[in-house]
Structure 1
Amino acid sequence: METMRLSSSFTKYSSLSSYSSFSSSSSALLQTKSKNFISLKSVFPANSIPNGNRNLTIVSASKADDGPQQQQHSPFWGGESFFRSVLASMESVYLNKNPTAKAILERVHSVDNNQICYDHLAFRTFGVNGHGIGSMANFFLDFGYTQREELRFPEKKLKALWFSPPSLPVSDGGSGVNGPLPRIFISELLVDQMSPQAQEIIRKCTEISGSGNKHAALASALGSLTWEKPLYSEFQQLARESEYAAWTLVNGYAVNHVTISTHHLKSQLGNIKSVNQFIEESGFKLNSEGGVLKVSPDGMLLQSSTVADSVSFCFSDGITESVPCSYIEFAERLILPQFKNLPEKEVREFHRRDGFEVGSADKIFESTSKEQLTRRA
């Protein structure tokens, strides 16, 4: 198991060291005014670190009782243009490989021609040889993101951390990666808990990768694996034990999903039930594991997701087979009870339920499972 000790004290960034425009050693704190730096073409393309690891079943709004103090996120470090360029490249790779996500964003935009906000971006990793959560998290930590709660998924042999975004003013009309910065959700497979055969496959790939874990964000932005393509038999072996492991073997650090924040939509799609109906009536299949609508025990976080797209993958032994890619999620965060009487125009994101919930996330993971991919709509 990879030992995690993530904090905002990371001041040197190794994951994108090949980018000459980035300098994490700068001691100056830069806060820039937001601009729409990236063309999105046809589609728009809390702060304390927990002490120790916690096995959470529910992650409620962090410091929700602090009210307006929630606005005081960690500051943004570095060049905004560069940071958003990296996010845009990750998004572009994601949209090019996942036609369902691209089509849904276009359809939602055609109905709700306003700002579309991303609630969070999610990534999957192997928790071994430095290729776990930290390999991707370093990039976001160095730009001012703050580590939040840990979530555990014992049956799936997974753990995850999520990270809240730094403060950054957003110009009117900024959508997708040009809008409010999203939360980041990064999970990792606890490789030491897998069978010896599965461990051997994963360790072989990560060893071939060498220092690839230092370039996780770059790999995601380029749409490249940091290890060589595996054998089809290796993919099958992992799939028998963990579909999460098999997905990560062939997708690497690619964006696993982006999440539309439904409560920011202004049209009739401004709630998740309407969005779900709209998606299904448009002919897309939603993940039915645990019910189409996943509701947190406190009733304040509502989530749903499509079933992942598939793509042909040519393995190193020349065998070409269909493998799961990514999907798109939808989330509605309800207004916390202490703010329920606020006028709608005064409601901000910090007035809403924050964080994630293990039970719902566990079902969302199934969006890439064979059972969901092969079931009838």
Structure 2
Amino acid sequence: MKFEENNKLSAVFNRLFKPYEERVPVVDKIMNAMVAHGIIDERTDIVNDHIAFRTLGVPHLGVSSFEKIFLHYGYEKRDYFHFEGKKLNAWWYSPPAEHYPRIFISELRVEDLSENARDIIHSYTSFLMKDPVDELDLNDVEAVGDFFEKSLWRLPTFEDYHQLNIESEYAAWVIYNRYYLNHYTISVHALPKGYNTLAQFNDFLESLGVKLNDAGGKIKTSPDGLLLQSSTVADMVEATFANGKTTLIPGSYLEFAERRPLPEFQHLPQSEILRKHRRDGFETGNADKIFESTFTTQTKR
């Protein structure tokens, strides 16, 4: 995935995607196969539906901190989502121009966890006395890019990671992976005929040996039937913990979305259907299962 570097927001996205693609081998596998099968000519042909980040809901961090980066670049905060079982809040953000992806940012409701889990998380984050984003020059592309990979807290021990993982796999993911891009999303409906439905594209992915998240079914469908989503199971990355232990843990993954035309536009010829004619936003039920792309129920099956 690459954006034309004609402005600072494009440059930020290009800076963000480089470490993501290096850490998620399935991206190369899928992109190379799409080119080989003539689905796309090059990676820049891909339409990016949205990107997603995970955060911890603690003082000076969380969504209220992280969103400042994208609000600065013209994004607008939209709908709120509540995930009761996973103890998460989330919001999505619409882009300043249609060729940029939507953004989905979630945060863990840390105070809803057990005392032991809260204590572990606070032991890493309580030293923060102010919002680190406030210290960023948001017009400095390199500084913003570095921030996504910055160690805002010390490297966790394996024991702390393991304890968090028992209670909240989301918490464990963030305590190690920090603000690395959690996933980006291919707009399947923008692909050529034969691959432009999620059912067709999933068949293509599985023919490549790509393992899909099957939580709630391989295709997660909104109640109105207009937003369909699938995702790969997270690639495993080698993690080295503070006490020197090294093991494989879930990293990031790739998502796929099909946004169907709204009822009032379904009469339009395919060639005339624009982004504004399609289902926008997100769906709690879909997102709830997409989160599980990094969970052991998926990575170890």
TM-score (norm 1): 0.73
The alpha-carbon distance between structure 1 residues 37 and 336, as it changes in their structure 2 partners (threshold 3 A), is closer
- Paired letter, 2:123: K
Instruction: Determine which structure has the larger helix proportion and give its number.
Output: 2
**Counterpart contact for 2:3–2:14, Cα < 8 Å:** no
- Paired letter, 1:37: E
In the alignment, what sits opposite 2:94?
Answer: 164
The alpha-carbon distance between structure 1 residues 104 and 289, as it changes in their structure 2 partners (threshold 3 A), is same
**Counterpart contact for 1:219–1:254, Cα < 8 Å:** no
Distance 1:209 1:311 in 2: 28
The alpha-carbon distance between structure 1 residues 237 and 301, as it changes in their structure 2 partners (threshold 3 A), is same
Distance 1:295 1:222 in 2: 31
Q: CA deviation at 1:152?
A: 0.3
Q: How many residues align?
A: 289
Distance 2:242 2:58 in 1: 22
In the alignment, what sits opposite 1:235?
Answer: 161
In the alignment, what sits opposite 1:182?
Answer: 101
Distance 1:288 1:355 in 2: 22
Q: CA deviation at 1:205?
A: 1.5
- Paired letter, 2:227: L
Task: Give the fraction of aligned pairs with identical amino acids, expressed as a percent.
Answer: 43
Give the 3-state SS of the residue equivalent to 1:255 in structure 2: coil
What do you get for the CA RMSD once the two structures are aligned?
1.9
> Within the alignment, does 1:369 sit opposite 2:299 as a pair?
no
Q: CA deviation at 1:268?
A: 2.1
Distance 2:60 2:28 in 1: 32
In the alignment, what sits opposite 1:112?
Answer: 39
The alpha-carbon distance between structure 1 residues 254 and 220, as it changes in their structure 2 partners (threshold 3 A), is farther
Distance 2:203 2:146 in 1: 32
- Paired letter, 2:112: Q
In the alignment, what sits opposite 1:151?
Answer: 81
Partner residue of 1:334 out of 252, 256, 260: 260
In the alignment, what sits opposite 1:24?
Answer: none
In the alignment, what sits opposite 2:122?
Answer: 203
Q: How does 1:28-47 map to 2 (within 5 A)?
A: 37-38=4-5
Give the 3-state SS of the residue equivalent to 1:91 in structure 2: helix
Distance 2:47 2:128 in 1: 34
Distance 1:222 1:89 in 2: 9
Q: CA deviation at 1:222?
A: 5.4
> Within the alignment, does 1:295 sit opposite 2:214 as a pair?
no
- Unaligned runs of 5+ residues in structure 1 are 1-34, 39-79, 169-179
**Counterpart contact for 2:51–2:185, Cα < 8 Å:** yes
Distance 1:221 1:113 in 2: 32
Give the 3-state SS of the residue equivalent to 1:364 in structure 2: helix
Q: CA deviation at 1:86?
A: 1.2
Distance 2:79 2:147 in 1: 26
Q: CA deviation at 1:36?
A: 6.0
Give the 3-state SS of the residue equivalent to 1:273 in structure 2: helix
**Counterpart contact for 1:104–1:279, Cα < 8 Å:** yes
**Counterpart contact for 2:81–2:284, Cα < 8 Å:** yes
Give the 3-state SS of the residue equivalent to 2:15 in structure 1: helix
**Counterpart contact for 2:3–2:11, Cα < 8 Å:** no
Distance 1:36 1:157 in 2: 34
User: Structure 1 stretch 366-375 or stretch 127-136: which is displaced more?
Assistant: 127-136
Q: CA deviation at 1:91?
A: 0.8
Give the 3-state SS of the residue equivalent to 1:287 in structure 2: coil
Distance 1:155 1:371 in 2: 16
**Counterpart contact for 1:86–1:221, Cα < 8 Å:** no
Distance 1:296 1:220 in 2: 36
Q: CA deviation at 1:286?
A: 0.2
Q: How does 1:1-377 map to 2 (within 5 A)?
A: 37-38=4-5, 81-110=7-36, 111-114=38-41, 115-167=45-97, 180-208=99-127, 211=130, 213-214=132-133, 218=144, 223-375=149-301
Runs of 4+ in 1 over 6 A off after TM superposition: none
Distance 2:148 2:117 in 1: 27
User: Structure 1 stretch 346-355 or stretch 106-115: which is displaced more?
Assistant: 106-115
- Paired letter, 2:70: F
Q: CA deviation at 1:212?
A: 6.5
Say which structure, 1 or 2, has more relative contact order (CA 8 Å, 6+ apart): 1
Give the 3-state SS of the residue equivalent to 2:17 in structure 1: helix
Give the 3-state SS of the residue equivalent to 1:155 in structure 2: coil
**Counterpart contact for 1:162–1:184, Cα < 8 Å:** yes
TM-score (norm 2): 0.91
